[in-house]
Structure formats: C-alpha cells, structure tokens
Structure 1
Amino acid sequence: MEDNKVLNYIKDVLENIPTGWLNLTTHRLDIYDEELAKTQFLDQFEILFKNNNSKSLALSNLPTAYDYIRLGHPLSCLLEWGIANLNNLKPKNVVSFSSKTTPVLAILRKNLIDNKSTQIIYTNELPSFFDVEILKSIYGYNFELKQVEKIDEIPQFSGSTVFISQKDGICKNKLYPNIDFFINGYSHLGSVLIANGEQNESYISEIQHVRRRETIAMTPYNCFAALKSLTKRSSFDTINSIDANKTNVLDSITAITSTTTKPLIGSSGLSIQYAIMMGLVHDALKNHKGKAIKFIVPPNCYGGTNDQARRVAACIDNVEIVDLLVDGDNDMVQSIDKVLSEIANEDAIPYIIAEIPTNPRVEVPDLIKLKEALAKERKTATDKIAIDPVFILDQTFCPNVLFLGDGEILSSVRVISYTSGSKFPSGGLCTAGYCVGNKKTEALMSKIEMHLKLCDNEATSLQMEILAKQLPSMNQRINDAYKNTREFVNFINETLPEAKINFVSPALAKQGFTPSVFSLDLPTKGDTAEEKETYKRALNLKLINLMITKIPNESKYCVSYGQLNGCYWTIPATSTQGTTKEGDKDYIARVALSPNLDLELHKKVFLDFVGSIKLEFLES
C-alpha cells in the first residue's frame, strides 16, 4: 500500500515538474544554503509528499538540490528517494550515476585507502568496458572477481561484497544481508548504487564525492526516463541513435580548435580531466617504469581540478602533486621553468595542469615564452635528457583560441586542451566537456580514450544532441558576451576607479583572448589588514546581493559562465575554490556576462552600489 502511495506521488510529480528540473545545470540558486545543499531539498520535498502536494509551484519553490548537476539535482534526488522508499532505506543510501563503472570504482577507492578487501560478484557477464587488468595495474585497486549462477550462492567474505547486475527497468530490489553494495546498471541511462546496512553508511559521503569529482549524477533526462520506468513498472523506452549527433559534434570541435586528432567528449569537464590524468598515468607506468609522476597544479585553480589531482595522487604511490604559482605577483612561465628544472633533476615525469586565462585573475602568460619553457631540453642529475612535459590546458574561459593546430603557438610541444561543456559549448544546457590534442599527443589521446570508456564517462545521447545544436554558434556567442563584458568593465573603471579589475587587456583581446568573465577587487577601509579584509568580504556580498535582488531574472549567484542569458556572480573562495587551501583562496567577486542581458540595468544598479559605498566612506 505504501509502495503505491510513493509511486502515485512520483507519477503526479512527473506530470507537474518545473521545466528547469529537466533543462538547467543549476536549480534555484536564489534559494541556496551550501551547508544544507545535500539535505534541504529532500527535507522539504518530504513535507510536500506527506501533504500530497505535487503542484508545480510548490515544486518550483523547493531549494537547491546539492550544489550542481554534476553532484546531484532535483530528479536524481527524486529517483534516489523513490528507490529508497521502495526498499525501506534512507534516501542517502541510494546514489545514482551517469556511469555504470564509477560506482564500483568509488567503493574500490575507499577500500584501497582503508586497506580493506573487496569481492565483486556478478551473475551473467560484466560490462564490456570493465577492464580488470587496468583497474588493478593502473588504478591500483585490489579486488576478487567471482561469477555465480544465483545470488544466494555468494560466499562469505571478510571485506566488502559488491553485486553488479544489468537491468532493463527500475524496480524494487531484494536486499540480501551478505551483500554490502548493489550496483544496478541500466542500459543507456547509467546506474544506481544501494548501500545496504548501517555498517556501510560510512561509505556514502566518499561515494558522493567520487560522483562529484570523477563523473556526474545520472542526468535529468535519464532520471526522468528511469522514474517513468519505476512508476509504470516497465522496461525503458528506446532512444535515438547517438551517431549522427556525435559526428556533428566531432566536426564542430575539430573546426573550432583547428586540430586533426580525434576529439573526446565526456559527461563533464571533470570526467574528461579524470580520463586525461589516468591516461597519462597509464602511459607513464607502462613506458617509464619506476619513475615518479608529478602533476604540477596551481594551488588556487578551480577546486574541482585541484581536488581531483590530489585524489589521484592519494591512490597511486608514485604520483605526487607539485604546486605551480601562476597568479598575481607570480609569473606562470617563470614558475613552470623553475618547477620543470627541479623535476628534470629528479628524472621524474612532468604533467602540468593550468588554465589560460587563469581563474579567477584572468591572466594570460607570454605564450612565446611559455612555448620556449615547455620545449626547453633539460638534463637529469646524471646528465641524461629529461622527459619532456605534457601541458594540460584548461581553456574553458577562451575555448575559441587556437593553441594546437598546425602552425599555432603550442603545436610543437606536447599539449592536450580541454573545455568544460557546461560553459560556452552548451550555453549552460548540459555538463558535457571535450578535449583535443595536437599531433605530438596522438599516442596519449588513445590512452585517454581508453580510460574515458573504462570509466563509462562518455557524453550521453542528449548531451551530444545539445552540443550538436549549440557548438556551431559558440564563437559568435563568445564574441557577443565579450563585448558586453568589456563595456561593463569600462563602466566600472569610470564609476569606481578605486576598484581593481582583473580582465584581459585590449591588446590580448586582439590576439583572440575574449573571455566574458572578470574579477573585481573592491576598495576597502579599516585600521588593520584584518579589518580591511573583513570589510571587503562584506562589501563583495553586499554588491552581489544587490544585483541578484534588483535584477532577479538575470543576475544569479552562481559559478556559471558562458550561459545563453543573464549575468553570474560568485566569490571564488566559497565556490570554485571550495576545496582549495585557505591561504590560496581568492575572496574577490567574479562576474560572468552572457551575450544576452540588460546591460544598462546592470550599470544602473552598480551605480546605486557605488553611491552607497561612497557614502559609507564619507561617513567613516
């Protein structure tokens, strides 16, 4: 009876869901409490369920689910809640994934760190991309693999028992006490992990963090299909072929980047980055046995990049993170030259991850000197030629800049470029990201593709469809958004010259660096450095709250960038740098403009802000 109540309510919700639940990468950013992001949505959803309220307006007013579609969203929460209720579990014990491999990797990762054994059980056959040898030799995961005829034949085991099954519809699970984790794969939709028993609840936050950093939650569209299967108690509907859209996307990326190697398209920017990292680790372990692997990463770069790199290093003995100072008083080229010389002396393998322009300071290094630093032949301590670096370039801020094609500035050194698809490639409509390599990296790209497939992190069918529609107009949107941003930056310089703005120079813009994001260091006051910092941080929030309150239809408090409409404001230290060390965080305002917004209204509200703070300064 209770099962029918849950299923009927879900059916009603599906008929009334707000459109944003299906087509946005972020949800209700105006109702967002970061500390409650994992619980607040379901807490209030439960109240609606108890009151049998499935009205669209009530659903629209629910607060943010998690912090981003990658980690979770309203429909993934609804799917997990529905499955949990049918199985008499807490909703947090159910975690959905776009990938069918990554939930297994999440358990293996925690057990590796905890030095705990794992047995993986299956009945028919494992997914074709589940490569046992690579998972053991490259990822370093330890596990036993056993095929059984029936689920009740699973032997007793001292450690975690994981049962993998493939299903053609969402239904109630029979939970066996000797199985710790059930992972149900669902054809083209992804998978759902169930943590069975209180003794396994300590895994949940770690599993969610793997979903946040190395893959994504099951996408809204696929969750919607899964929920329909659940309520109808039927198999999934068939989907259109991905091939035509994928061909169009590959062609667009090739044209945009002017490269000839095959582009790779993942379910998110971090999915692509993870494949790059593991592909390079794979190449190093096979071709440079015994040598240390050094990932060189700016300590203040995007928190997902920073955190993921350190998570890889935590799992593999001879992988280490080296800090690369790139912003402010530090010159990226000088820092790279210094670090590469030190790593060459150790005869280690250097992989550099860096953003151009940098985030959040929007700085571009001298590209000729960068190429020279990367191409420079260095010697080991024993006077042998050192291994040349691979430069992993995050060009999300400027995906239109040509770095890698024949004759371009970085074509002669080993460079792989990647871009977050939730920004300009899709206009904020999906998370899918892509990477390309120059001719010097063809062998590496095949390794990266292997790991993208092993992790089952390739873009979904709908993501390909969205990219196929959006990529052809990307460069024009970048150009239009840049014009708005330059005009707004000029206006701020005129009305508040005391503020420090980090943005590209007109000379850099002529070279093709036309981002639509800038950072704003507001003027401050106080007798001590601490007082000045406290005042400036409060002023940041005052500005952002004013903009999003006065222009709620366009100004949002969000890390997004490259959206089709509106203006996005954030504080990097509390958003994109969330997992960055405190001393490396940037407590400044970061502003991103789209091609389509009411710029005159934004100027007017900013002018009101300037008037209010000048009054404060006069009064003090």
Structure 2
Amino acid sequence: MTQHSATDFITKTLENKPQDWLGLTTHRLDIYEEKFAKVQFLEQYEQLFNENNHSTQALAKLPTAYDYIRLGHPLSCVLEWGISQQYKVPADNVISFQSQTVPILAVLRKNLLDNRKTLIVYKDQLPAHFDAETVRKVYGYNFELQQVSNINEVQSFNGNVIYLFESATIGDFELHESIDFYVSTHSSLGSVLLMDNSVSNYVSDVQHVRRRETVAMTPSNSLIALNAFVANASVDLTAHDFENDKRSVLKSVKDITGTSLQPIVGSSGLSVQYAIMMGLIDHAIEHHPNKPIKFVVPPNCYGGTNDQARRVAACLDNVEVVDLPVDGNNDMVRSVDRVLDDLAQQDAIPYIIAEIPTNPRVEVPVLEDLRDALSRKRNTPNNTTAIDPVFILDQTFCPNYEFLGEGKILSEVRTISYASGSKFPSGGRCTAGYAVGNNKVADLMEKLELHLQLCDNEATAQQYEILAEQLPSMNKRIAAAYENTREFVEFIKETLPAAKINFVSEELASHGFTPSVFSMDLPTKGDTAEEREQYKRDLNLKLIHKMIDEIPAESKFCVSYGQLKGCYWTVPATSTQGTTKEGDKDYIVRASLSPDLDLEKHKQVFKDFVEHL
C-alpha cells in the first residue's frame, strides 16, 4: 500500500462522496453499531480501497462513522486514515479536532487521572487562547511548558511530551523519538493529533474528550483539509462573511430568547455546555473559594449531559454530581426544593442542569412553582444565607419559549439557557449551539465566553453562515412542526387508545410550549414483568422499522429533532440516553416530526401497524 495509491483513492473518494457526508449531522441508526464505529467504517473503506471501488453507491453503503459529527464522521475518518497511511501508524492514532486546544486538554486530562507528568513543547507560540494559569487553576491539570525553535531541541522527559506546532499544510509531521503526541494546528481548521504507537492506550480517552467536550473537525473543514492533503498544498480557505454572519446570529438569538446580554455560540451543544460548566467553576473558585461545587443533574437526561457532568467532577476534588429525579413519578419542583435544602445544609454552590420539556417524557413543571423553589431563601447550618442556585436550562425541545427576558418567568432567577444547534436552530444542517443568560448572570456570561474561547470551541465561520440563514425562520418552522405533531398524536390516540403518549397538553401549547417530539409506551402483554417488557421492546422496533421500510424517503431511524424535512424515530435508551445508568433508561418509542412531511402517509402506515397487532 503506497502513499501515492492511498492519495489517489482519497482524491476519487472526494469526487464521488455521497451528499450526506457533508450535510448529515446525526447518525443513521440503521447503519450504525456504536461498539464498532470508526473501526467498522474504516475496515470497509479499506476493502473498497483494495478493490479500487470509489463509486458513490459503494461509499454510500459504508456504515456510519461514529455519532453526530462530534466524535467523527466519514470525511474526518478519511482524513485521519490518509495521514495514518503516510506515517504508517494505526488510523486510530490520528484524531482531528475543530479545536486547537482541546487535544492538549485531552492528554492532560488522561495524565491527571493517571498521575503522570506532561511537558508541552511548542514551536513559535502557544494557541492564542491557551491560558496556562487558568488551565491549571480551573481544570486542575498539571504540566510544564517549553518553547523551542525546532524539533531537534526536544529532549527526553520523565512523562509524556506533547509537541505543538502550527502548519500551513495538513498532515505535515516530523517525527522524533522523544515525542509522544504531535499536535499540528491550523488557525481556521482546528488541529490534527498524531500519537506515537507507545501511547496507543490513550486513543479511547482522547476520542471521548472529542465526543463530550468539543467536536471533530467539521465536515466542511475536513473537506478543505483533505483537498489540501491530496494536493500537498497549503490550505485554500472558503470565503465567509464571518463578521456579518456572527452579528446576524447574535441578534437572532437575542430576538428569539428575549434577552439582552451577548450570547455565546459554540461548535456544538455540548461545547456550549462545557463552557457553561467550566465558566461556573471558574466563577465559584474566584468568588467562593474552597466551597464544594454541586452540579445537580437528572439521572435519565440526555446521555451527553450526564456523562460530561460526571467527567468534569472526576477531575476536580471539590466538584460533585447530585441526582435530580424529574420524570415519570418524580416531580421536578419537589426534587429541586429537596436538593437545594440539602445543599444549603452543606453550604455548597448549587448549579442545576435540567431540560424543559423533559426528555423523553416531554413533561413541563409548573413554572411558577419552579421559580419559587429556585428563589426561596435558605440558610446554612451557621445561619448564613445559602448561595442561590444557577439554573442551567436545556431548552432544545422548545427554543422558542421566552424564559429569561424582562418580566418572564425566570427573569429574576439566575438562569442560563442553551440549545443544541443541530436541532431547530440549524434545521439539522450543523451542530453549532448557543447559550444566553438573563440580566442576573452578566458576570457569569463573561466567564462562559472566556472558557468557550480557551477551548477554541466557538462556532466556525460556516456554522455561523448556516445559523444566519436558518435562525430567522426557526419559530415559523417550530409552529408548523408542532401542528404536524399534534395532528399525528391525536390520530394515534384514536387509532391505538391503549398506547400511553407523552406529549404537551393543549393548554401548555397555548402558553407557548410547542415541541414537535413525543414518546409513547406501546401496549404490551405477557405473564411476567420480564415478558411484558421484552414484548414492548420488540414492538417498539417493529413499529420503527415498519415506518422506515414503508416511507424510506421521509422516516429515518435517527436521534434527530428539528430537521427541515421528514420524521425521525428512536428508542432513547439505545441512543440519546447513551451512558445513562441502565435503571434510568427509557425503552419507549420517541418520534420527532418536521414542518415538511407526508403526514397522511405516516397515518396510513401507523394504522396498518395497529391493524396487524
């Protein structure tokens, strides 16, 4: 296998790439097996390479690489594979990032947990936003820094050596026996990390950081990088009207949310959430030194939120995750009240993360009661006033609802709201997310901005361009998608009354909660609880596959929400709840409808499903 032939095959791949490789932000679960992920994709890609088969049809049949674009996607995998061929290392040892700083943070995190020393050697200069003092103080990472003029100055070190350099080209590495990790940065495209074979055991840990705290190099930027790589030329950047697009996006976000503070816009919803978490920790260290920090998180919420919170807590002795039961038989307001009472007794700093409506049961608490529970003054055992909470609201399911503006329900409670950009904000066209705050959190928003920049996780120019195009029509799309969902839900109630449907009431909708996602427990049967559960799980998949098989142009087995077209089906326990503890998972059907689909066809197929039960 020669570099020339690999380069030639990549060139043909780029000419024939499927359209989804650039435009799909969420994985297709019908061709996705998480435990095989990139391995499966690259095994079959290499098989096509060996057969010299680069047809669009063959490429389109390749299994999904990783999930969303956070952990990776076909174009980032092809880029990493191409570089691995050039340097004769396993493809897993090459990992691309949209961020210049997160690959460094990923190695530092692993070495913190393994109690191993790290030396960061950099040529010319560190990335602009890498603030060594803040990384040590807030993230808890330990490292030494050394500047060199060339790679030959690098010497052996009792620990790991990261070599950091900026490059005008992609995949241009000079290897050295004393270096474990090479980080090639590019000001617009992010970075590529190449690991020596001696540190291959770091692969899964580094990949997990990319999955939870940042994103892989985006599809559009991976394409730019690949074109430069195969041509062995400097990167040719696509022109974007960055400043105007960003100005437009910030204005749209403020208009939609009714807020006046400057929003932050990150490369994904989890990138934004990470900036929120680390920004709040930074503020707590500065204003409440030595006090315990508690992130209060629903145990059954989105798996990425759950996992990220626990990953942050694992690195810092004074940070802990506390469960907040919110769904089903649990009431969010009572849980908030109880948890805040407990944390006041610990004189702790409470940060509460919650989804409204909840996922997947689509429940909305009594907002006046929630506001009162969050606002109530509490005392510590020393009879001092307890620190008031910050409410971190994931309103991805209802990004049009104004919680925070002047006179709104949470305007007087310290609240930060954020939304995942791969949903309604972009219509599924990019992952960029955003966060806003009410006037009570002006000092906190400054810290969020600082950590978004430190992690180099701001939205890319192309992501801003897409959001600038899509955000102005978002509320209109939400309204149309809700109408489709309401009609489908009412049809299901009439056609299969035994199904338990989780959706907002018409009264809640009249107050502005208009999601276009619902979930349902299908009727089941069996002599034992185990038999009934298994029957229900089998029936879930039977329904989903029927919808997909009979409406393949519109129905997809996918975790998406807020797309421009079609209908998306999933089982939360096997997708969005991911790393959630097994006992907290929901093995139910979740569906999300778009503003544009053949609703009558979906009704017809569902009716046929019911008739054959």
Give the residue type in structure 1 aligned to 2:234: S
Superposed, which structure 2 residues align to 1:35-46 within 5 Å?
35-46=35-46
Partners of 2:460 and 2:172 lie apart in 1 by: 25
Partners of 2:377 and 2:196 lie apart in 1 by: 55
- Partner residue, 1:229: 228
- Partner residue, 2:87: 87
3-state DSSP of counterpart to 2:423:
coil
1:418-461 residue CA offsets vs partner (Å, 9 max, x unmatched): 00000000000000000000000000000000000000000000
* Superposition deviation, residue 32 in structure 1: 2.2
Q: Does 1:476 align with 2:476?
A: yes
3-state DSSP of counterpart to 2:354:
strand
Partners of 1:216 and 1:34 lie apart in 2 by: 17
Partners of 1:241 and 1:519 lie apart in 2 by: 40
1:482-509 residue CA offsets vs partner (Å, 9 max, x unmatched): 0000000001100110010000000000
1:239-270 residue CA offsets vs partner (Å, 9 max, x unmatched): 33411100000010010001000010000000
Superposed, which structure 2 residues align to 1:413-432 within 5 Å?
413-432=413-432
Partners of 2:265 and 2:68 lie apart in 1 by: 20
* Superposition deviation, residue 544 in structure 1: 0.7
3-state DSSP of counterpart to 2:30:
coil
Give the residue type in structure 1 aligned to 2:338: K
Give the residue type in structure 2 aligned to 1:466: I
- Partner residue, 2:258: 258
When the two chains are superposed, the root-mean-square deviation of aligned CA atoms in Å is 0.9
Partners of 2:338 and 2:30 lie apart in 1 by: 44
Give the residue type in structure 1 aligned to 2:250: L
- 5+ residue gaps in structure 2? none
3-state DSSP of counterpart to 1:467:
helix
- Partner residue, 2:156: 156
Superposed, which structure 2 residues align to 1:547-566 within 5 Å?
547-566=547-566
- Partner residue, 2:526: 526
Partners of 1:433 and 1:495 lie apart in 2 by: 38
* Superposition deviation, residue 103 in structure 1: 0.5
- Partner residue, 1:201: 200
3-state DSSP of counterpart to 1:147:
strand
Equivalent pair of 1:267/1:457 in contact (CA under 8 Å): yes
3-state DSSP of counterpart to 1:34:
coil
3-state DSSP of counterpart to 2:184:
strand
1:174-204 residue CA offsets vs partner (Å, 9 max, x unmatched): 221210000000120110001112x211100
Give the paired residue count.
612
1:466-525 residue CA offsets vs partner (Å, 9 max, x unmatched): 000000000000000000000000011001100100000000000000000001101111
- 5+ residue gaps in structure 1? 614-620
TM-score by length of 1: 0.98
Give the residue type in structure 2 aligned to 1:38: K
3-state DSSP of counterpart to 1:277:
helix
Partners of 1:171 and 1:442 lie apart in 2 by: 41
Give the residue type in structure 2 aligned to 1:105: L
- Partner residue, 2:214: 215
Partners of 1:170 and 1:95 lie apart in 2 by: 13
- Partner residue, 1:445: 445
Give the residue type in structure 2 aligned to 1:208: Q
Partners of 1:73 and 1:149 lie apart in 2 by: 35
* Superposition deviation, residue 33 in structure 1: 2.4
Partners of 2:481 and 2:241 lie apart in 1 by: 33
1:94-139 residue CA offsets vs partner (Å, 9 max, x unmatched): 0000001000000000000010110000121111100000000110
Partners of 2:496 and 2:111 lie apart in 1 by: 54
- Partner residue, 2:394: 394
Partners of 2:149 and 2:32 lie apart in 1 by: 48
How many percent of aligned residue pairs carry the same amino acid?
63
- Partner residue, 1:617: none
Q: Does 1:132 align with 2:132?
A: yes
Equivalent pair of 1:96/1:191 in contact (CA under 8 Å): yes
Superposed, which structure 2 residues align to 1:270-419 within 5 Å?
270-419=270-419
Superposed, which structure 2 residues align to 1:32-181 within 5 Å?
32-181=32-181
TM-score by length of 2: 0.99
Partners of 2:366 and 2:480 lie apart in 1 by: 26
Equivalent pair of 2:166/2:184 in contact (CA under 8 Å): yes
* Superposition deviation, residue 27 in structure 1: 4.9
Equivalent pair of 1:422/1:428 in contact (CA under 8 Å): yes
1:146-189 residue CA offsets vs partner (Å, 9 max, x unmatched): 01122111121111100001111114422212100000001201
- Partner residue, 1:538: 538
* Superposition deviation, residue 26 in structure 1: 2.9
